[in-house]
Structure 1
Amino acid sequence: MRDSERVVVVGGGVAGLVAARELVLAGHRVLLLERSARLGGQLAAHSVAGIELDAGAEAYALRGDDIPNLLRRLRLEDDIVRPVDAPAWLQRSDGTAVALPATAVLGIPGVPLAQDVIDAIGWRGAMRAQLDTLLPGTVGAKAETVGELVRRRMGRAVLEGLVAPVVRGVHSVSPDELPVDRAAPGLREDMLAQGGLAIAVRARRQAAAAGSLVASLRGGMHRMATALAADLERFGVEVRTGVEVTGADAGGVALADGARIDGRVVLAAPLGVDAPRTRVRVVTLAVDAPELADAPRGTGVLVAPDAPGVTARALTHLTAKWRWLAESTPLQLLRLSYDGEVDATPELARRDAEVLLGRAIPAPVDTAIVEWERRGRRSDAEHAIDGMQRVGEAESGTGLAAVVAYARSVASAIPSDGARDAG
């Protein structure tokens, strides 16, 4: 095969691994280049108190069939796990904590006058949200962002008191920065068809089994990256790590050492991409505190931006959320996320955890701190640049479900002369 018929995938994160796998199975000769020494990007592992945990993404949204189908092909389907069916909590701007509404999507309530909604945002805010049922389905149907949609349909109390903490904790941006079609594909169409936002949320929750909005893998989501890398080796993809690409065009890529590699190019790294960047720090604490095993605040706590006495934007009680983790250690594992500019230390995380869980937290047995750079979706809608295709967060939006689905769609659209069995 001529070099011009080779596909060069630049970037060995999740998008690059998925694209390379799709391409080789479609019959392409594939070369994958990764600047760092390892593959997987934000699907990474680290050890805390001798337990291997996810350092990055620890779950995926159950949206579409792309990830379940991929996990089945990677022979990981028997290890798919669902979180404990318990609510997350909200640390409010007045310093109190309440359970998040049980029937909600992105914090948007499906039953505005439910007691858990009233407890969270007050009677007046819940009554304003109830007006959604009286508005025509067309109101907000053209909203571009989650913030605009919720503000128009349900008002400021729902937006600031429920949706903002959830979006901030999950997507690392404000609701006004998050495109609604990326966060909840089809929600606007459901609202139009059913005549209201609340009823569309209820329908989504009723269609999903309890606790099934997200899932993970026993042993951690990082196992998916390991399995993808193993498949690339099995299918004959050439993988080079420690290689820096400095330039790319439709005919190939230029390397930092001056070499050039010819071939069709798929950019799975943010080479020359002008997209919003958000730095996130994550602190994981392992504490010997068996009294926390009764999950005083469910699976974790999301924090209102102006909540007093707390710097963290979210806490995940890992051993309360995932049974396999609780079964693997007598310790309690707490994961707190911070904005990138915060000097997030283990002591700060311990103090925040005390506030968010409402309990005294002893000095940690072990800790780990990691930093990630998240990329928002770039404003330029053109994804094929000068004959090159782009995949990754800047193209698909954040979240494993979106990244995997988009990488598969782009790779499968590149024509090939032949395909091989994916078994």
Structure 2
Amino acid sequence: MPDTPAPFDDLVTHARETRVIVVGGGIAGLVAAWECAKVGMPVTLLEASDALGGTIASAEVAGLHLDAGASCWTAGGPARDLVDELGLGERVVTPRDDRTWIAGLPKGGAAPVPPQSVLGIPANPWDEAARRFIGWRGAWRAYLDRLRPPLTIGKELNLARLVRTRMGDAVLDRMVAPLSVGRFAVAPDRVDVSAAAPGLSSALTRTGSLGGAVADLLVDRAGPAVESLEGGLAALVDALVARLGDLGADLVTGVRVDAIERTPEGWRALDGSEELAAADLVIVAAGPSDAARLLVPHAGDAVTQMTDASSSREIVTLVVDAPALDGAPRGAQVYAVPGSGRASGLVHATARWEWLAQAAGPGRHVLHVAFDRPAGDAGEQALGDAELVTIAREEASALLGVALDDGDVRGWHRARYALALPASALGHDDHAAAVRASVAAVPGLAAAGGWLSGSGLSRVVAAARDEADRVRGAALWGGSPRD
């Protein structure tokens, strides 16, 4: 008697005969490729750049191996599950300092974000930590939140309108907007409250005020907000690449896919008229502009509604000699009041991560300075390296309140990435559902990536796994993917 039943043998054979093309070698593409390869499917991954990982990138700067893009994930969740599954759990680290400051306040001021706040909304506007932002006049205006009649409580979904009507412009402009723009490059008037802070609207109904709702949400808040890996997130990419290699996947870099074509035999990936690969399934996990170009001919204009909303972020990494930063005078991250400077914010990486501070040594610091632009706007990308590094140093000086001279800079790196909207952006879920429906209607086609799932490593990982499972399941259990 055979050790395995015939249906299982048939399934294994079917998997081994079902070829998969993955277009895009960012984290979404690598995860989708792995989900298919680990059940025996032959996978060819095509990446336009010379490196895999997408926004999870690294660079050698002044002798330090550094994250040059994404550097952490929201604690726990699908990203942590992936890390554990890849055997990297022992390398997980939490911040030694995760305080957030906001700079660019009136008269050049800066202050730490009150710990008793959600999305920058204070639980108590009279608290001194909040008054440093809004002053006595702003505190009086915000206190009207407690006195307003509960006629529309829990109904307003637009973050900007909710905060402005209940607590006033000072709270919105000086506390909420810097965090929304700095973290996600999205203005508060484009943020859905129910997605950005689940439970806030219902807490608003229960407590009768926005401040009371914030206090209510904070009751169950505990533990670190983010996690990372000792040595940097590049280890996650390396682990996925190694696993894919062990499974026989073909990972090809430096190849741009101009189009995907559906044929009676399945799918072809094309560079002009040249066929790059042929397969039964194709998963498009490219960035927003490439995804739109590849998917629209097959899935329609619903894709364009998602990809047109993207923006870009240029990150300038500076390694500086600045002993004045040893005490992390403004915490681990500083965001700017919109319009107060050219940078949207920075991460003081050596303040945040103990392993990096030890590698850098006393007096040497790593700063990631972010510049945001709408998609298609060249912005800082048009500047030469020397000019941009000077601007980044000057912006870092203003954000940190510590003078940094040109001679303090020991090394630098610049990188530009497409910046996905957060899932909390107004209309995101509806648009994403329309895209997923139009893609799923095409046999053998799948799509993944931050532009579709929303930003954040956990969301990207979870969505890539779900999409790979959908198209993989349809091929293995639902008949031929060409049907």
TM-score range, shorter chain: 0.7 to 0.9
CA distance 1:125–1:7, change in 2 (3 Å): farther
Mean Cα displacement is larger for which, 108-117 or 72-81? Answer: 108-117
**Are the counterparts in 2 of residues 182 and 397 from structure 1 also a CA contact under 8 Å?**
no
Which residue is 2:34 aligned to?
21
The separation in 1 between residues aligned to 2:359 and 2:454, in whole angstroms, is 34
Sequence identity percentage: 38
Unaligned runs of 5+ in 1: 419-423
The separation in 1 between residues aligned to 2:352 and 2:127, in whole angstroms, is 24
Which residue is 1:157 aligned to?
170
**Are the counterparts in 1 of residues 154 and 205 from structure 2 also a CA contact under 8 Å?**
no
Which residue is 2:10 aligned to?
none
Which residue is 1:258 aligned to?
274
Which residue is 2:332 aligned to?
299
The separation in 1 between residues aligned to 2:254 and 2:85, in whole angstroms, is 28
Q: Which amino acid aligns with 1:88?
A: T
Structure whose alpha-carbon radius of gyration is higher: 2
The separation in 2 between residues aligned to 1:149 and 1:392, in whole angstroms, is 30
TM-score w.r.t. structure 2 length?
A: 0.77
Given candidates 411, 417, 430, the residue that maps to 1:372 is 417
Q: Which amino acid aligns with 2:116?
A: T
**Are the counterparts in 1 of residues 141 and 167 from structure 2 also a CA contact under 8 Å?**
yes
* Match runs of 1:119-158 below 5 Å: 119-133=132-146, 136=150, 139-141=153-155, 143=157, 145-158=158-171
* Greater length-normalized contact order (CA 8 Å, ≥ 6 residues apart): 1
CA distance 1:241–1:359, change in 2 (3 Å): closer
Q: Residue 141 of structure 1: CA displacement?
A: 3.6
* SS of match in other structure, 1:294: coil
* Match runs of 1:345-360 below 5 Å: 345-360=388-403
**Are the counterparts in 2 of residues 88 and 300 from structure 1 also a CA contact under 8 Å?**
yes
Which residue is 1:246 aligned to?
258
Q: CA deviation digits over 1:337-370, x for unaligned, max 9?
A: 1134134622222222222222222321112222
**Are the counterparts in 1 of residues 92 and 227 from structure 2 also a CA contact under 8 Å?**
yes
* Match runs of 1:11-410 below 5 Å: 11-26=24-39, 28-62=41-75, 65-94=77-106, 95-133=108-146, 136=150, 139-141=153-155, 143=157, 145-180=158-193, 183-185=196-198, 187-188=200-201, 191=204, 197-210=210-223, 212-248=224-260, 251-256=266-271, 257-259=273-275, 261-269=278-286, 270=288, 271-272=291-292, 273-274=303-304, 275=307, 276-307=309-340, 310-330=341-361, 331-340=364-373, 341-342=379-380, 343=383, 345-362=388-405, 363=407, 364-376=409-421, 379=431, 381-384=434-437, 385=439, 386-387=441-442, 388-410=445-467
Q: Which amino acid aligns with 2:49?
A: S
**Are the counterparts in 2 of residues 168 and 313 from structure 1 also a CA contact under 8 Å?**
yes
Which residue is 2:297 aligned to?
none
Q: Which amino acid aligns with 1:53?
A: L
Q: Which amino acid aligns with 1:382?
A: V
The separation in 2 between residues aligned to 1:389 and 1:190, in whole angstroms, is 38
Q: CA deviation digits over 1:222-245, x for unaligned, max 9?
A: 221111111222233332223322
Q: Residue 43 of structure 1: CA displacement?
A: 0.3
Which residue is 1:421 aligned to?
none
Count residues with an aligned counterpart.
413
Q: Residue 4 of structure 1: CA displacement?
A: 8.2
TM-score w.r.t. structure 1 length?
A: 0.87
| Aligned alpha-carbon RMSD (Å) | 2.8
**Are the counterparts in 2 of residues 3 and 263 from structure 1 also a CA contact under 8 Å?**
no
CA distance 1:44–1:122, change in 2 (3 Å): same
**Are the counterparts in 2 of residues 287 and 332 from structure 1 also a CA contact under 8 Å?**
yes
CA distance 1:69–1:357, change in 2 (3 Å): same
* SS of match in other structure, 2:358: helix
The separation in 2 between residues aligned to 1:30 and 1:195, in whole angstroms, is 55
